[in-house]
Each structure stands twice: as C-alpha cells, then as structure tokens.
C-alpha cells in the first residue's frame, strides 16, 4: 500500500490492470447479449419516485442490438446516466478517504492506535475478531449500511496486520461482514423494508425467522475467518497475498514501534479528535435509519466529517509533514479506482440501454409460473442472484422485481414473505463477489488485494452460502414461513 509518491492507500498496478481486464470483458459480454437477446419492455409506473414494473404488460419492441462503439464509451456515458450523481459522489468519497488516511498515516496516529489495540487484545484477539465481525454485520443487517462502512475498512486492515493476520482477514472482518449482514437483513429499510412494502406485507414482519438466518450466517462467516486466521498464523506464506502485504504488514507488526515515534506526546490528543469524528459518522449513520432524508446525502456528509476530523487530527499531531501535499498524494494513489467504478456501472448501462433487462425478467417469470413451490422459490432466488450482477442497488432491484415475483409466488402456492426472503438472499451475498459491484471495487482499491485473488479466497464460501441459502428457503417453505 506504500508507494513512491507518499500515498498510504493505493490500488496496486497489478490489481488495477487485472480488474480493468475483467471489467472490459464483462462490458463486451453485456454488449454481445444485447445482440443475442431480443429487446422488450414492461409498462412502468412511478412509486415513491422510482420506476416499478406493471406485471402482464411485457411486449417485444423489435429494436435489436446496441452499437459496438458504445460498449466502450459506456464508462463515460455513465456520467450523464440516471446513476451519474451516485457515481460522482462515490468517486469523490473514495478520493477524500484516500487523502485523509494518507495524512493520518503520515502523522503516526494509525500506528499509535494499532499498537494500543494490540497491547489491549493480544491475549484475546479472536474475541476482537468476533466483535468486529458482529459490528459490521449488524450495521448491514439492521441499518442497511454498506457503502458508508468502506471508510472504516483501512483501519480494520491495519489492525489485522498488527494482530499478525493479512489484508484478506481484515477485509473479511469488515467489508465481507457488512455484505453478509446486508444479505441476512433483519430490519434493513433499503432492501427488506422496501420489498415488504411493495409486496403488501407489514413492515419488518416475520423477524423471528430472519434473526435465525442472521445467527446462521454470522456463525458461518466467523468460522471461516477463524480457520483462515489460524492457518496463516502458523504459516504466513500460505496467504495468497503474502508478498503484497509484506511492506505494510511489517510496519504495523511490531507493537514496540510506538517508542520510536517522535511526536508520541501529541498522538493521544490526535486519537481523541479523530475518534470524535468516527463517533459523529456512526451517529449520522444511525440517524439516517430514522430520518431517510439524511441517508440520501450520507456519502458527502460522511466525507466532510472524515476530512475535517482527519485534518484537525493531523494538525494536532505536529508530525512535521506537509498536510496538503500528503493529502493530494493520497488522492493520487486511490484515484485510478474511479475508472473501475465507471466500468463496473457501465455493464448495467449497456444492458439497460440495449433493452434486454425486461426481456430477461419476462423469460424468467414465464419459467417460474410453470413450477411447483419448491422449485419456484429456488428459481426466484436464482433470478435475483443473476440480476444482481447487473443491478447492484438493493432498493432499485426491489422496485424492478417485487411487483413480478410477489404475484408469481402467490400463483405457485408460495406466500409473499418467502418471496421477499428469496429476494434478500439473492440481492446480498454476491455484492462482495461480483466485479460489477462498485462498492467491492472501491474496497479492493483501498488494499493490495486484486480481484482475482479476492475471488479465489471467497468463492468457496460463496458457493457454500449458495447451498445454505437454498436450504433455508426450502426450510421456509416446509414450515410455512409467513403463512
């Protein structure tokens, strides 16, 4: 993560180019699909300012294909698409985070915090792992917080280094945990809440089964992280990112390093200042759960809090560096991830503008209507899972899908509550697997982990969760969940 220009957070060249290659292939693949699948459209109505499909209104439009040259201009076209504001806010957010963490790293504050935490938890670090994993999962499950937690990922990764683990473990305790929490929603207003409202269900009804689901998912994730951390503790070279991690890991591995910090006397005050900004961020996130208007501007507000808190903390540390220069260097180190975000979002743009999104939904719904309840609920789950590759936003996907799958579920003898649970499963877990998810690309951009190595590390867990999801859905059918 260190580099020649002084940036603390930086996407590595290898990670960047491998991600670009993967996303380029996906863009081309999406373009080819627009020339293979006939275009069509459902009628749509506006509900709470968002488009929702009217079931039974599908018609083929006869307009085929999407110009080849637009496959490659799509990342630029994203900037004036309906997602433009969101994309620009995400890129600005990640640049501010990169700059702020570089300044904090140069000040010595991050090393001070990690050394203190290691001393506090050196004999109970797996308890700390359990607490952190639960913290991130709860924020995803209860508040529907996902993108906003990205800012905390670098801190957890550095803590992972200090405890003798690697970047993958840090990502697992933070980003992966948030994704698992998002999937095992208990009160998530952005997926579960919206989906239940569209399906005509009481808000957050059926919570007993969902708490059981959350406990199962938490146990699986913690077990996965525990086994992996134990393995690399015994033999660090077994980590696929051992070489990539070396420089930064050595920096935070020695808990006596604090004695060498020339500005040690000021770092306690620095931690209090930045700690206050973290508390404000968490308070804002929680407030957004009760006041939806706050969530609409969460990224710029959080970026501002981090920026002000980081600059004030660095200034109080008296580390002797040039804050402005280090901040700009931090932006430069993380800025290339902006292209990855644009490319990831362009896959959805190509599919949507190519007119085949509704056609895919139509074909799938026709198939589901001919199935029995057990096969149908699995098919609904797989439909959402597939669509999540192109539309990562949970609430947007709910408006697109629930008007179709809720009536379909009733048609084949299922109730809407089970259909909503299938939606939550299909929407969530793969958020931390699909390269078309901008949040995943942002998260990896803050680390030395390339997408191929991330995929290899998580694919076994993801396939296992696929089977667990199916088993839980079948269990829901058997016990008559929601009836």
pLDDT of res. 253:
54
Q: Which residues pair with 46 in a beta bridge?
A: 51
Given a contact cutoff of 8 angstroms between Cβ atoms, the answer to whether 361 and 53 are in contact is yes
Domain boundaries, the chain: 13-478
DSSP string, 175-201: IIHHHHHHHT-SS-IIIIIHHHHHTTP
Q: Name the E strands within 160-277.
A: none
Given a contact cutoff of 8 angstroms between Cβ atoms, the answer to whether 99 and 327 are in contact is yes
Helix axes 451-478, 13-36, angle to 10 degrees: 50
Q: How confident is the model at residue 64 (pLDDT cuts 50, 70, 90)?
A: low
CA–CA dist 292, 281 (Å, integer)? 16
CA–CA dist 348, 336 (Å, integer)? 21
What is the pLDDT averaged over residues 391-410?
82
Phi, psi angle pair for 45, to nearest 5°: -125, 155
CA–CA dist 307, 383 (Å, integer)? 41
Q: Write down the residue that tokens 């719904």 correspond to.
A: 365
Q: What pTM was computed for the model? A: 0.80
Q: Does residue 468 have a pLDDT over 90?
A: yes
pLDDT of res. 466:
95
Q: How many CB atoms lie within 10 A of CB 224?
A: 20
CA–CA dist 150, 330 (Å, integer)? 16
Given a contact cutoff of 8 angstroms between Cβ atoms, the answer to whether 341 and 79 are in contact is no
DSSP string, 85-152: HHHHHHHHHHHHHHHHHHHHHHHTHHHHHHHHHHHHHTTSHHHHHHHHHHHHHHHHHHH---GGGGGG
What is the pLDDT averaged over residues 403-419?
86
Query: What tokens were used for 376?
Result: 């149908």
Residue from 318, 265, 310 nearest 112 by CA: 265
Distance of CA 7 to the CA centre of its chain: 24
Q: What is the DSSP letter of 284?
A: H
Q: How many CB atoms lie within 10 A of CB 143?
A: 23
What is the pLDDT averaged over residues 147-155?
78
Percent of the chain with pLDDT over 70: 92
Q: How confident is the model at residue 377 (pLDDT cuts 50, 70, 90)?
A: very high
Q: How confident is the model at residue 442 (pLDDT cuts 50, 70, 90)?
A: confident
Q: pLDDT (tens digit, 9 = 90+) per residue, 252-305?
A: 555 444 445 667 777 888 889 988 988 888 788 778 767 777 766 777 888 888
CA–CA dist 203, 268 (Å, integer)? 45
């Amino acid at each position: 993560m260190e580099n020649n220009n002084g940036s603390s957070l930086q996407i590595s060249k290898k990670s960047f180019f491998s991600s670009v290659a993967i996303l380029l292939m996906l863009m081309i693949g999406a373009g080819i699909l627009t020339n293979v699948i006939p275009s069509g459209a459902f009628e749509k109505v506006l509900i709470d300012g968002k488009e929702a499909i009217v079931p039974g209104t599908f018609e083929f439009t006869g307009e085929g294909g999407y110009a080849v040259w637009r496959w490659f201009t799509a990342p630029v076209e994203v900037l004036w698409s309906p997602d433009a504001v969101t994309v620009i806010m995400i890129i600005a957010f990640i640049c501010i985070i990169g700059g702020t963490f570089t300044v904090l790293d140069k000040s010595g504050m991050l090393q001070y915090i990690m050394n203190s935490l290691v001393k506090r938890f050196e004999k109970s670090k797996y308890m700390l792992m359990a607490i952190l994993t639960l913290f991130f999962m709860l924020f995803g499950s209860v508040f529907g917080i996902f993108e906003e937690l990205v800012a905390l990922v670098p801190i957890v990764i550095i803590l992972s280094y200090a405890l003798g683990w690697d970047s993958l473990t840090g990502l697992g305790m933070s980003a992966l945990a948030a994704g698992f929490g998002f999937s095992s929603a208990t009160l998530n207003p952005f997926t579960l809440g919206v989906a239940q409202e569209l399906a005509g269900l009481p808000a957050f009804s059926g919570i007993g089964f969902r708490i059981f689901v959350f406990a199962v998912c938490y146990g699986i994730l913690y077990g996965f992280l525990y086994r992996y951390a134990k393995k690399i503790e015994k033999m660090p070279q077994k980590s696929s990112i051992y070489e990539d991690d070396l420089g930064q890991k050595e920096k935070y591995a020695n808990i006596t390093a604090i004695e060498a910090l020339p500005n040690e006397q000021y770092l306690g005050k620095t931690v209090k200042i930045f700690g206050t900004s973290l508390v404000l961020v968490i308070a804002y996130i929680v407030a957004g759960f009760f006041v939806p208007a706050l969530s609409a501007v969460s990224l710029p507000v959080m970026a501002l809090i981090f920026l002000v808190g980081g600059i004030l903390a660095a200034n109080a540390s008296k580390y002797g560096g040039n804050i402005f220069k280090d901040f700009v260097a931090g932006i430069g180190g993380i800025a290339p991830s902006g292209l990855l975000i644009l490319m990831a979002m362009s896959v959805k743009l190509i599919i949507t503008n190519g007119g085949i999104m509704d056609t895919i939904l139509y074909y799938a719904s026709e198939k589901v209507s001919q199935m029995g309840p057990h096969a149908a609920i699995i098919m609904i789950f797989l439909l959402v899972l597939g669509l999540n590759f192109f539309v990562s936003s949970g609430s947007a996907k709910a408006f697109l899908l629930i008007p179709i799958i809720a009536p379909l579920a009733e048609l084949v003898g299922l109730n809407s509550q089970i259909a909503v649970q299938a939606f939550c499963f299909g929407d969530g877990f793969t958020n931390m697997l699909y390269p078309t998810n901008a949040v995943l690309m942002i998260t990896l951009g803050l680390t030395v982990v390339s997408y191929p190595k991330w995929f290899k590390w998580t694919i076994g867990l993801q396939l296992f969760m696929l089977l667990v999801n199916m088993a839980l859905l079948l269990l829901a059918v058997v016990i008559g969940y929601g009836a």
